[in-house]
A and B are shown apart, each in its own frame.
Chain A
């Protein structure tokens, strides 16, 4: 199986920046995903990295370092609607996706 670690909770102020780190150990690697999940809802896809470097998508960016087994999700210009759980997920050599426990981000006014 996979070992995926991310912080349990983070709190930030509206308009600020928050960085959610994710470290992983995997048998084979076929990409790293970030999902957003609002309370009581299904997860929705945010970003995908398979090569080292930064992928930018509007206010959200995701970074990957395969040699370090490390990724982060950067949320800029935080809005109240960004309060949610953010899930780091790694696809292994068998193309199965394993998830971390998730990081709950609370945005305060």
Chain B
């Protein structure tokens, strides 16, 4: 039982480099999300996708892009990383068909930009 898989688990990156964080779910959930978590600020929504083929901006989208080519995959790309993007990134999914539609989270990707 995988649920949501994120890769890499941890990465150190030079400023200015391009980076893609991968996220795959096997629960066939329609909605997927990317959050970043910083000390004292909690989880902040970067981008989301309510269904395959659609994406939307969250609270802190600048410097990030996403795509949703299919139901399972939702990669997050940093086109040119900056030190302020040092954070723990969580991918999550939810299924609004029945139940409260709670989020299921991946284990997180710890990114350090130097």
Contact = CB atoms under 8 A, between A and B. Distances in A.
Contacts of B102: 33, 45, 48
A31 B100 contact: yes
B45 A96 contact: yes
Interface of B: 31, 33, 35, 40-45, 48, 50, 58-59, 90, 96, 100-108
A99 B107 contact: no
B-side interface mostly: loop
Interface of A: 1, 31, 33, 35, 41-45, 48, 50, 87, 89, 91, 95-102
B79 to A, nearest CB: 23
A41 B90 CA distance: 10
A48 B107 CA distance: 22
A42 B45 contact: no
Nearest to A85: B42
B107 A98 contact: no
A33 B33 CA distance: 16
A97 B48 CA distance: 10
